[in-house]
Structure 1
Amino acid sequence: MSVIGIEKMEFGVEDVAACTRFFKDFGLHACADNPTYFTTLSGAGINVSPLDDNTLPAPFESGSTLRRITWGVENTASLAEIITQIAQCDGFRLTENGAECRDPNGMTVAFCVSQQKPVSLDISPINQWGDIRRIDAPSPVYEKATPINIGHVVFFVDDLPATEAFYCQKLGFQVSDRYIDRAVFLRAQINGCHHNLFLLKLPHRGRGLNHVAFTVRDIHEVIGGGLAMNRHQWSTFIGPGRHPISSAYFWYVNSPTGGAFEYYTNDDYLTEKWQPRELEHSLVSFTEWAVEGGLDYDTRRQVKPNKE
């Protein structure tokens, strides 16, 4: 089996207009023939529909949320193998482009042969002690972000062992790291980025969507994207900051889709040589540093909390 990554996400929301405005401001490309469909540079898709759209599967939580996630696979042989693996799963059905079922957490997961295209971009090198790669050129400053692809999704889960087993045993996902009795980071391929899926079990939070993460070029684009969202009056959940567990720099923005949207870059690349770590979940293990509330576009300083 060879799941490549996230191909498409379909949301059912209370305010379609607010979501389409959010997607445009976030830097996603709006399709000319479908005003509710947006793409990354690679072609990964985001679609938004009203809550009561009968073409969407049943939600796994109330209110605005993700209703279906489609994973892209390498080829038709891989798709056939996955169809065999999920044929006995809840909600299984063949679709026009592949098949779908429900995972143990109630999320509808679909599979198709990936149609995403390679993306080639000029990335400005970073100069470090003993490793000088950028000469006679400044680092870039971005006025906004343009997401390259959908890097990962994070779900709150009710049954962590069952949901992890589905993705690892049925779909061939690999464990990258684990928070003991709390969460697991999974990557779709043996050789790949730190995680495409993060499953999180909290004692007082049922199943649902936590956030969707989009890869960008570098830390400068993370900052530029977050500042641009502040300029457009979208609030920051947390960021900028850095995750020590994946090495990624991040900026999370609150969205009207029901989960936060994240810009990130610089996550670890793992191979079959990697040994998953068993860590205690804590602020220190999850966040090396972070700015609460983001940075203000006008002052370029931390957003100050409102005083009543």
Structure 2
Amino acid sequence: MSVLGIDQITYGTDDLALSRRFFQDWGLTLAHESADTLVFTCLNGCRVVVAAMDHPGLPPAIEPGPTLREVVWGVERAEDLARYADAIRHDPGFVDTEVDGARRIGCTDPNGLAVRLQVTRKRDIALQSAAMNTWSDKPRINQPSPVYERATPIEVGHVVFFAADVPACEAFYASRFGFVSSDRYPGRGAFMRCAPSGGHHDLFLLQLPSGKRGINHVAFTVRDIHEVFGGGLHFSRCGWETQLGPGRHPVSSAYFWYFKNPAGGLIEYYADEDQLTADWQPREFEPGPTVFAEWAVDGGLDGHTRRQKGVDAGGKFLTEKK
């Protein structure tokens, strides 16, 4: 029994129209729209809900302004859900309800965030991704790597929060839901994955000296490094502002590109993270710029650099001098 991953996230926003354009440009599908709620889906059925900040059904916010209000984690079977319900029944904010005809349980974590679980609604999908030719392994034969005009995210891969007490939150997710710690900034940060075998992290908790609580970023998984670049370039051409990227994380090995999100915090495209098993031993790191990013482009790429879409090159090479 283990949590499978993130099934749904819910934002509270003060500008639904702006959020509608933002998440559609990001590559999500608008599945439902009402006067105060937007529901988007990723390729595998993972959902992103954006609701007006005064929506009566939203859980309390852990910080002022637009932010993430709720994370719904998926489990495999109803029997798993029943076991987790027993584990959290006496925790603050315990709920056991029905949403869209299915059982959903939850509570409030030590950081004040609404945490929910349900039998997963995500589906398995088969996608073709780029194979990477290296000196020792060349699986891509007679086939060019793809060029993506934009990204179509597969799912919400992980969430990152500023927490007032990282050790308390880390202990909560380990004891209640069986999360496993992958790596740590001792006393100040914890990378956690849902199960012993899986991607480097599904949840990352950061503790600032100020004790601030809130969302840092939500990360969306894409197929490969080429989709990170293609998605980021398209998003830049749409006029959205880069916070940092593209770049590469040395801790998880993932390639990333972060943008500012009007619904709260930052948003990330990422690909090629480390895959871990129960044999992995958590490492400890001292926070610093080179630990966060081996390399990164500050301010991003403008989306038109070098490609110059719509420009007639007159049959000349880009490097050809006048």
1:289 aligns with 2:295: yes
Deviation for aligned residue 1:300: 4.4
Structure 1 spans left out of the alignment, 5+ residues: 302-308
Deviation for aligned residue 1:248: 0.2
Q: Is the 8 A contact 2:25 2:235 kept in 1?
A: yes
1:20 aligns with 2:20: yes
Structure-2 change in CA distance of 1:33 and 1:110 (3 Å): same
Q: 1:84 maps to which residue?
A: 86
Match of 1:211 among 195, 198, 217: 217
Structure-2 change in CA distance of 1:114 and 1:289 (3 Å): same
Q: 1:47 maps to which residue?
A: 49
Q: Distance in 2 between matches of 1:279 and 1:136?
A: 42
1:139 aligns with 2:176: no
Q: Distance in 2 between matches of 1:286 and 1:126?
A: 24
What is the CA deviation profile of residues 189-248 of structure 1, one whole-angstrom value per residue up to 9, with x for unaligned ones? 111000000000011351000000011010000000100110100000100000010000
Q: Distance in 2 between matches of 1:300 and 1:52?
A: 45
Q: Is the 8 A contact 1:14 1:64 kept in 2?
A: yes
Q: 1:5 maps to which residue?
A: 5
Q: 2:123 maps to which residue?
A: 117
Give the counterpart letter for 2:50 in structure 1. Answer: V
1:114-263 equivalent positions in 2, closer than 5 A: 114-204=120-210, 206-263=212-269
Match of 1:101 among 89, 99, 107: 107
Give the counterpart letter for 1:70 in structure 2. Answer: V
Secondary structure of 1:36 counterpart: strand
* Identity rate, percent: 51
Q: Distance in 2 between matches of 1:15 and 1:98?
A: 28
Q: Distance in 2 between matches of 1:240 and 1:129?
A: 24
TM-score of the pair, normalised by structure 2: 0.91
Q: CA RMSD in A?
A: 1.3
Equivalent pairs counted in the alignment come to 301
Q: Distance in 1 between matches of 2:214 and 2:136?
A: 46
Runs of 4+ residues deviating >4 angstroms: 32-35
Give the counterpart letter for 2:12 in structure 1. Answer: G
Deviation for aligned residue 1:139: 1.2
Q: 1:276 maps to which residue?
A: 282
What is the CA deviation profile of residues 114-151 of structure 1, one whole-angstrom value per residue up to 9, with x for unaligned ones? 01100111112111102111122221111100000110
Q: Distance in 2 between matches of 1:238 and 1:204?
A: 23
Deviation for aligned residue 1:33: 6.0
1:66-85 equivalent positions in 2, closer than 5 A: 66-85=68-87
Q: 1:305 maps to which residue?
A: none
What is the CA deviation profile of residues 245-283 of structure 1, one whole-angstrom value per residue up to 9, with x for unaligned ones? 000000011111111110000000000100000111111
Structure 2 spans left out of the alignment, 5+ residues: 308-322
Structure-2 change in CA distance of 1:89 and 1:234 (3 Å): same
Q: Distance in 2 between matches of 1:204 and 1:225?
A: 34
Deviation for aligned residue 1:78: 1.0
Structure-2 change in CA distance of 1:298 and 1:42 (3 Å): same
More off after superposition, 154-163 vs 29-38? 29-38
Give the counterpart letter for 1:84 in structure 2. Answer: D
Q: 2:270 maps to which residue?
A: 264
What is the CA deviation profile of residues 87-124 of structure 1, one whole-angstrom value per residue up to 9, with x for unaligned ones? 01111111112211100000001110001100111112
Q: Is the 8 A contact 2:32 2:38 kept in 1?
A: no
Secondary structure of 2:4 counterpart: strand
Q: Distance in 1 between matches of 2:306 and 2:169?
A: 42
Q: Is the 8 A contact 1:119 1:148 kept in 2?
A: no
Give the counterpart letter for 1:76 in structure 2. Answer: A
